[in-house]
Structure 1
């Protein structure tokens, strides 16, 4: 803060009164961000839906975001919790595809900051979703109010060590990630979630998949479903059980070519297909985003 036209006493008082606000505006999901940097405001047209309790900014041009970028969002409305989505060109806004993690608690200053752990290309809209249960998939609380999006800033920042974890280990050779487009779904009955890929995709030996895992599963299985194979089978599994780290980002390497893949799925619960015991208390898993790393 710069004191203009104030004497020393008035300036000191103003700084004292403003200090809590300035400190709070650096909060990231309620935590103080000591490395707060200036952001670039993103231009676009804002809108909202009172029916769905959501708000958005339609970006002026399709925009590419990189892993490690941060978005600082000023949230309007009365929601205490929100979910955030980046909508890619060609994806229906009716779907929940493109979510950034899970529920975020809105702090007192109503500024939240979210970090991208994968590249997101061709983004045409940033949206925030309040209300009791967006898409019937994200229970935020029966009394949760609506959310609007007042401003969005892009902060190009270095990736934290935690966001580069692979199965709980830091990946010092972190490479660029290509976000995979498609339609997400989940089954509460089976404790599984999936991404139906927009087009059948060929993966090569040595490719890596970086998956953002939702739900409460501590352990998961990952499957690549090829065209023509029934999703009722366990065919296409990638190795065995994987422990989900604290940041809920797992990375799996392909040891063979996988051609004509139409779906990536993750499986939690106690014992998928009755063949893979993961523990009686293991919760369900969903897949929020999938990125391809091709070295």
Structure 2
């Protein structure tokens, strides 16, 4: 399966009976027969027979938990429709440069190295990975080493193309201020690349001498807070936002908060034993000095 947004790479939940019943009912309505359930999904027999197929349900369950049970049939039907479209996604051309305008970067957790692994590079200081995808109208496909080999291109070179495409696809009013009390900004377009726009934070935001705190709890969420002295006492609130949305939303990425300064990412707040732990790097003191301005001679 080539769709980037369908396999679940998060810890597998145990689904409650009501959710399983709802999924089984919609599968049956679509002609699928449930073979066996697994902790993170279900094995089904497709309409007309054939080999069993595994459908990961963890991300769907995250959405269902946030919705009324009466909305589940429509939610499940939409998920299965996207699944069918993804399976029928266009083939990737032999030369990726023929779809260069469709390339996009993705930011997420590293894939299980035991599985088929797309091309990717780590984002230093985060534990996250930048991958490449080819964007289609209803789905996306990861770029693999084999695709790069056929195209005679390096992943790093195509990443530059993908980032430029994302830059051009980002509206000028991408960020909205979250509240009048704090200058926290949220970015959301719903195009599946909002978290990836964290790679453009220092371009998209007005200049901030001491950098930015950045949270990417899920694929479709990006929160940014310019570093300031008044904000320091409340920055833990950004971590609470990250923790809650990482836990509740589909396609989770991380509940950490990072500090981004001059293009370099640093861990800043992490969750340890249920508590938010602020651990700024030594370089953060130097950044705060930039807020104070030059010292009088």
**Shared fold by TM > 0.5?**
no
Q: Which has the higher helix share?
A: 2
TM-score bin (small chain): under 0.3
Q: Which has the higher strand share?
A: 1
TM-score (norm 2): 0.26
> Whose RCO is larger (CA < 8 A, sep 6+)?
1
TM-score (norm 1): 0.26
